[in-house]
Amino acid sequence: MHTLGEVAEFLQAELRGDSNYVITGIAPLEKAGEDQISFFGKVEGFVQTSRQYLTATKASAVILTVKDAEDYFGNAILVEDPYVSYAKLTSLFNNAPKIKPGIHATAVIGKNVSIGEGTIIEAGCVVSDGVKIGDNCHLYPNVTTYHNVQIGNRAIIHSGAVIGADGFGMANDKGKWCKIYQLASVQIGDDVEIGANTCIDRGALEDTIIEDGVKLDNQIQIAHHVKIGAHTVIAGCTGIAGSTTIGKHCMIGGAVNINGHINITDQVIITGASTIERSITEPGIYSSALEVQPHQKWLRTKVLLLQLANIVKRLRKLEEQQNE
């Protein structure tokens, strides 16, 4: 519980209302009740919440811009970006159990390991030989870091993540597969978050690199020698093939498939379920695949797609005849 005065001070924002009013939690505008705070504004990638929710909300306080507050007469926290302020405020109301820094008794720690001050290694984690982990990191239960992995400061790595397993390298020797041992490692920068059951493979000859501020969702596959630029965010179930470079400040939706040995420049947004086969050299928003359709309509669309090559061929023939 926190007073509105404490909330405003934490957000370094202007308060319009009762500074002594006690807030017990955060909730969406349309579902908030008394003693709860909410926000009104645009969420990154989505349209702004409907104004009808603002006028009808039962929240005891709302985070919003000065302009949006003109017609709102309840307790208000006035900020430049309500969504960012909401994001920051969640840390103040975070109800996760508090765990003291240290290494759980069931964790396995290898030789020549370096673990920084304030770092938490929870139950069942495996930190293999030669791993370096920075200050104030948090490895949730059952995280596995293979040998010689380097992790920067303030990393958050969720349960089941595997960092530094062998990349999928094989050479075909007369019909039989010859394993290519992965001789490099993984470097992870500062302030990186890695979701549950995400896998980041080590490089064959050059390290896989995750730069500062990258945020990875659950169940992402990052292959060997991939480089992800600073402050890029990637949603769940995305797969990135080997030796691909992704720029800084990119946003990649869920279930995106990214080919290997390509480059994606900075400031690129890729919408969910897209397939990226070639390099992207210009910033912008990119999409592929078809939206869901009623089954019968999809069957008709599929027939047309299968006939597309013949249709184009016939059109070209008609054009040639017309030109003659």
pLDDT in tens, 169-183: 999 999 999 999 999
C-beta separation of 168 from 150 below 8 A: no
Measure the CA–CA gap between 198 and 106, rounded to whole angstroms: 22
Measure the CA–CA gap between 112 and 128, rounded to whole angstroms: 9
C-beta separation of 277 from 295 below 8 A: no
> In the predicted model, is pLDDT for residue 48 greater than 80?
no
At residue 46, the pLDDT reads: 52
pLDDT tens track for 125-184: 999 999 999 999 999 999 999 999 999 999 999 999 999 999 999 999 999 999 999 999
Residue 57: phi and psi, rounded to 5, are: -60, 145
- Residue carrying structure tokens 């597969």: 177
DSSP bridge partners of 62: 38, 76
At residue 47, the pLDDT reads: 53
Among 49, 5, 8, 11, which Cα is nearest to 31's?
49
Q: Report the interhelical angle of 82-92 vs 4-11 (nearest 10°).
A: 120
Among 125, 131, 89, 127, which Cα is nearest to 107's?
125
Q: Which residues are catalytic?
A: 224
- State pTM to two decimals: 0.92
Average pLDDT over residues 78-96: 95
> In the predicted model, is pLDDT for residue 290 greater than 90?
no
Measure the CA–CA gap between 25 and 15, rounded to whole angstroms: 17
What domains does the chain contain, in order, with CATH numbers? 2-92 (3.40.1390.10), 161-286 (2.160.10.10)
